[in-house]
Amino acid sequence: MVCDRPRRSILCVPAGDDHKLRKALHAGADEVVVDLEDAVALGDKDRAREQLTAFDWPDHGPAVAIRVNAARTPWCHRDLEMAVSLGQVSSIVLPKVESGTDVGFAERLLDGLESAAGRPAPLAIEALVETPSGVLCLSDVVARNKRLRGVIIGYADLAASLGRNQTTDPAAWRGVQDTVLLHTAAAGIAAVDGPYLGVADDRAFRTAVDTAAAAGFQAKWVIHPRQVAHVTEAFTPSATDVDHARRVLTALEEAAGSGQGAAVVDGALVDEAMAVAARRVLGRISE
């Protein structure tokens, strides 16, 4: 499994528009996803791919992922080949994932492409789950974790598949969210909440973001730069939480040195379960 720095805010931008891409790379997001799939018309795939290859990528900036076309399309192979050739790209987003076979296909293709290109750092895979079959087959999807580092919920396509209105009420998606959270936690990979289907930084958007952070997601996609700041804030542990996590781990380490399995921090008994939570908090900050 491929690991990297913590991600909180993930900004999506269409391929083929250099102006929007430059703006996205300076929007303050932890990762930028460049979309070659839904954001690019069928007849424009080759041009968008060529434009990304010729783009003047900055030396420093956020992590970059390429959302390639789905595994069963005629464009996926060329999308992956281009992603391998770009040193700035650290992962690919694989859409319409419905089984471990889809992830395995991308893994095997990347193995060969990277070997041929002499790429030193392997690309990670992020699985975009956006159909009922994909949700129901998550146990099979997350089992393919050689490169898989996260699962993202694709709300728009999933809503269309279910015949559901693209409601702004976060409670409407709690069942799907919990399914993703359980499977990713069991596999030790990230759960990423999909985008709120609106471009405003308003109360409804912030409610959806805060609900996802409280539920246990590690990051969230956004579709407009104005939404980045609140997502970053919501998914960043507070100074109080970080301080408490460090004191929990210190207290338990000292207790273990005395042959004890628990300790008291701020008047409360803490044990290994609290240590797991503390390590999770510390894993979400950049030192």
Which carries the bigger pLDDT value, residue 188 or residue 281? Answer: 188
Mean pLDDT over 23-47 rounds to 96
User: 268-270 and 263-265: which strand pairing?
Assistant: antiparallel
Among 163-172, 243-252, 258-267, the minimum mean pLDDT is found in 163-172
Give residues with Cβ within 8 angstroms of 123, minimum separation 6: 2, 83, 84, 89, 90, 91, 92, 110, 114, 147
Residue with tokens 């041929």, as numbered in its chain: 116
Does the pLDDT at position 21 exceed 70?
yes
191 close to 151: Cβ distance less than 8 angstroms: yes
DSSP, res 173 = G
Burial 123-138 (b: 16+ CB within 10 A, else e): bbbbbbbbbeebbebb
Angle between helices 203-215 and 174-187 (to 10 degrees): 40
For residue 271 the two structure tokens come to 């044990």
Looking at per-residue pLDDT, the higher value among 110 and 167 belongs to: 110
- What does the pLDDT read at residue 192? 98
Structure token digits, residue 207: 């409610």
d(CA 49, CA 47): 5
Rounded mean pLDDT of 66-94? 96
Instruction: State the residue for tokens 């759960």.
Output: 191
Mean pLDDT for all residues in the chain: 91
Q: Cβ distance 125 to 106 under 8 Å?
A: yes
| Average pLDDT estimate for 14-25 | 96
On whether the CB atoms of residues 221 and 7 are closer than 8 A, the answer is: no
Q: How many distinct helices (H) and strands (E) make up the chain?
A: 12, 10
Amino acid at 67: R
Answer yes or no: is pLDDT of 117 > 90: yes
Distance between start and end Cα atoms, the chain: 22
Q: If phi over 0 gives left and psi between -120 and 50 gives alpha, with beta otherwise, what is residue 101?
A: alpha
